[in-house]
Amino acid sequence: MGGNRIQVGIVGAGPAGLLLGHLLHLNGIDSLIVENRSREYVIDRVRAGVLEQGTVDLLQAMGVGDGLQQAGLRHEGLHVSFRGSRHRIDLAGLTGGKAITVYGQNEVVRDLIDARTATTRPLHFEAERVSVSDLDSSSPVLRFQHGGAEHEVHCDYIAGCDGFHGICRPAIPEGVLTVYERIYPFAWLGILSEAAPSSEELVYTYHDRGFALFSMRSPKVTRLYFQVPPDEPIEHWSDEAIWTEMLERMTTQDGWQPNVGRIIQKSVTPMRSFVAAPMRYGRLFLAGDSAHIVPPTGAKGLNLAASDVLVLARALKAFYQHGRTEWLQEYSDVCLRRVWKAQRFSWWMTSTLHRFPDGHAFDHQRQLADLDYLTTSRAAMTSLAEQYVGLPADVSFESAGLTD
């Protein structure tokens, strides 16, 4: 049995765990990251791809922004399409020059794994039987099997960065957490296609047949989604049927439509809003998807994971450098203020742009009026723009040991 001590045990090598590990490293704080999947699985997993301005700034301030700088696509606007017309929202013009960057989450994860590997600090893939215990003691324990050996690591703190289906949140005793949840009566069917994007910016479409979204991953790869019933089996959709539906929903009166190409990946993603509060129990801190899920319509998931770990890194730095614990105490409250605003925004975008199966004719007209207002009122566009490029994290980079 390998016995051990570490300052911070991190469960999960998704964006939250890897970003936290690197922020701690930059502050000279030890961590151990354990991940139950393989390196290839974690990198290849297809996820969202929109980074808020603040997430881009954070990656750059952390010194892990080179790939992003080279391959990221900066978008200064987006389009909202309904009744057959596209309307542009000038994100940069309405926010004093802020933008979003399209860069696949799997690229972000690959860059962070490379950065972690370069630090030589431990990152164990394919760990088995990962568990956490003694969370309300002064030395919580992280146990796992790796490389044929049992490991028992005593930590000062544990960060639960293990996503929605992880083991950390369920390790919190019954009755501690309040769960807020909404499940939507639809899912997204998403594809990656070998086709040059036919628009330089994203197009969010509200159509009589349901929501559709045009996005991209690179100058050669288009990423598209449309709304389907929940739990829709992907086998029900041939490539041909996917293209017919996609073009039907997306083609606008001026003839704009996505370029068609070979489909290289397809999957169905369920939609939910979820928050577990508080994001802390004893010496366990939850960050990212382990504490909250947003429906993908506002592309906020990865960005919330990034702001959570910035708040956590600030608190751990204050503890290790000055013995101060107030920021650890405040962690959950500070995160949740931003999380709830992103929840509200993601719910609003989802509710405005999707057809609800039991929706009334009244709701359909109201949604169209909402979109008409959104695309003609500068105030409404400004509100969307400032939320889309990302509301502030309430925590300075400097307080987490970075230069702004």
CB of residue 30 vs ligand APR: minimum separation in angstroms? 18
Site for ligand PHB in 195-214 (CB under 6 A): 202, 213
| Residues at the interface with ligand APR (CB under 6 A) | 11-17, 34-37, 42, 47-48, 105, 127, 130, 161-163, 166-167, 288-289, 301-302, 305
Has 180 been annotated as catalytic? no
Pick the binder of ligand PHB from 26, 286, 299, 334 (CB under 6 A): 299
Could you tell me how many residues make up the chain?
404
Q: How many amino acids of this chain bind ligand PHB (CB under 6 A)?
A: 11
Q: Which does 297 bind (CB under 5 to 8 A by kind): ligand PHB, ligand APR, none?
A: ligand PHB
Q: Which is nearer to ligand APR, 289 or 370 (CB)?
A: 289
CA dihedral 341, 343, 345, 351 (to 10 degrees): -150
Q: Can you state the angle between helices 378-388 and 326-353, rounded to 10 degrees?
A: 130
Tell me which amino acid residue 281 is. Answer: Y
Pick the binder of ligand PHB from 55, 215, 303, 375 (CB under 6 A): 215
Q: Which does 223 bind (CB under 5 to 8 A by kind): ligand PHB, ligand APR, none?
A: ligand PHB
91 and 99 in contact (C-beta within 8 Å)?
yes
Sign of CA dihedral 25, 27, 28, 30: negative
Q: Which is nearer to ligand APR, 13 or 64 (CB)?
A: 13
What is the Cα–Cα distance from 295 to 184, expressed in whole angstroms?
Answer: 9
Has 317 been annotated as catalytic? no
Q: Which does 92 bind (CB under 5 to 8 A by kind): ligand APR, ligand PHB, none?
A: none
Q: Name the catalytic one among 22, 25, 75, 79.
A: 75
Has 206 been annotated as catalytic? no
Has 204 been annotated as catalytic? yes
156 and 283 in contact (C-beta within 8 Å)?
yes
Site for ligand PHB in 46-65 (CB under 6 A): 48-50
What is the Cα–Cα distance from 343 to 374, expressed in whole angstroms?
Answer: 19
Q: Name the catalytic one among 300, 317, 320, 331.
A: 300
Q: Which is nearer to ligand PHB, 47 or 154 (CB)?
A: 47
> For 211, what's the count of Cα atoms within 13 Å in the CB-facing half-sphere?
27
**Cβ-count burial 76-105 (b if 16+ within 10 Å, e if not):** bbbbbbbeeebbebebbebbeebbbbbbbb
Q: Which does 49 bind (CB under 5 to 8 A by kind): ligand APR, ligand PHB, none?
A: ligand PHB
Q: Name the catalytic one among 103, 157, 204, 206.
A: 204
CB of residue 50 vs ligand PHB: minimum separation in angstroms? 5
DSSP class per residue in 250-292: H--TT---PPP-EEEEEEEEEEEEEEEESSEETTEEE-GGGTE
Give the catalytic positions in this structure. 75, 204, 296, 300, 388
